Structure 1
Amino acid sequence: MSETKELTSKFRRVRMVLAREKGFPAGDPNEGYDLLLPLDETGRLDPAEWRNHKLLCRVRRFRPNREDLHGLLRRKPGGQWYIEYRDGDADDEFAFRWSGEHFIWGEYISIRSKETMHTYRITLVEKP
């Protein structure tokens, strides 16, 4: 994802996999996200660190039988976090209340893709 020498000590690799939902009673470990983001000491997103290192806050979306999507973590002026894959907002995915979420193992995080909300379980948090 990024050269680790460029990252500060606050950066973590986070993996989230699809949690159980209709059609996937056991979830799906083959669908999810790999994130590279700055977290504070409690595991929350660190907006100040993000602001100083925006281009290092990368996202990879993986799904079975589809090409991976690569994007950046972004933040709207009102504080809404989202994932931007290409310029424009047609393919943006919106993070549900990420400002208050703890990115720690076992927690559940939601993302709205198009008009559908999906929940993901964090299965990995580690230093890059």
Structure 2
Amino acid sequence: MTLYHIRLEMARNKDFPEGNVNRGYDITAPLDGEGHLDAAAWKRNPAASAVVRFWDGERAALGHLVHNRGGWAFDYDPTTLADDESGFRLSNHVFRAGEYLSIRDHGADELHTFIVRAVTPAG
């Protein structure tokens, strides 16, 4: 399984017209040859996939990339669903620099748009 480091940063929006490099995610995950999240590779070793949420100087949240019937999500505490952040149709997104995707903030119905800043082999 080939793992990649994926850097997401908040894209421009009404609150941040230039975007915000201090809000985003660092993800370690397997990607297929086209740049999609690779569910088959993830299933062989789910513990290898991780996510770090950074948010304007708050303490970083450490979690895992999870995949279930609802799709892909970021899970920061496996004992509860309340902290999960789900991606909007992440299975369809290509993880390539310059692409955009949306993630639903935990505890809110709000979707935030992020830009993929970098995708590099992990390790």
Same fold, TM-score > 0.5, yes or no: yes
> How far, CA to CA, are the matches of 1:115 and 1:91 in structure 2?
12
Superposition map of 1:72-87 within 5 A:
72-76=64-68, 78-86=69-77, 87=79
Supply the AA of the counterpart residue of 1:66.
Answer: E
* Match in the other structure for 1:95: 87
Report if the CA contact (8 A) 2:34-2:94 is conserved: yes
CA deviations on 1:69-126 (whole Å, 9 max, x unpaired) are 01001112x2511110012111110111011100001000110012110010001100
Q: State the Cα RMSD in Å.
A: 0.9
Identity %: 37
Calculate the TM-score normalised by the size of structure 1.
0.90
Do residues 125 (structure 1) and 116 (structure 2) align? no
Report if the CA contact (8 A) 2:8-2:26 is conserved: yes
Calculate the TM-score normalised by the size of structure 2.
0.93
Structure 1 residue 32: Cα displacement: 0.3
Task: Structure 2: state its 5+ residue gaps.
Answer: none
Aligned length: 119
Supply the AA of the counterpart residue of 2:40.
Answer: A
